[in-house]
Amino acid sequence: MILPDGVAKKLVKSISQDDEGLKFELTNPLMNVTIRGMERISIDENPIDKKNVILRFENMEKDLGKIEDEGGMKFKVGSTVEVVLRGWKIDSGDHTMKFTILTKEFGRIDMKVPLKI
């Protein structure tokens, strides 16, 4: 499933970067899903290794690989997950981030999101 750019843009919020890396919040306004993983993560067509992705939710922090190994995480309606791309920095200006979320309920959800730093 490919989300229209306008919908994807509404799901990704609070884009920032600091010493830890690039961060954004992924919100769920639609329905409960189980996130099984993420793949094909890139910024301006530069791939990001999944080993550098951390998810923070419900007062927990987990590496993306651990979530995949454990079979997924519940992502409830109204909740927010902070995604950290460890060690990543981008220059000021306009960029494009792409990634695929793997869910139990819908399979692959492809997202393309404009970034402005």
Phi, psi of 51, rounded to the nearest 5 degrees: -65, -20
| Cβ(24)–Cβ(12) below 8 Å | yes
Whether the per-residue pLDDT at 4 is higher than 90: the answer is: no
| Residue 14 CB neighbour total at 10 angstroms | 11
| pLDDT, position 58 | 86
| pLDDT, position 75 | 94
Confidence of residue 109 (pLDDT cuts 50, 70, 90): very high
| pLDDT, position 32 | 95
65-75 residue pLDDT tens: 999 899 899 99
| pLDDT, position 6 | 77
33-49 residue pLDDT tens: 999 999 999 999 999 99
53-94 residue pLDDT tens: 999 998 899 999 999 899 899 999 999 999 999 999 999 999
| pLDDT, position 5 | 74
Q: List domains and CATH numbers for the chain.
A: 5-116 (2.60.40)
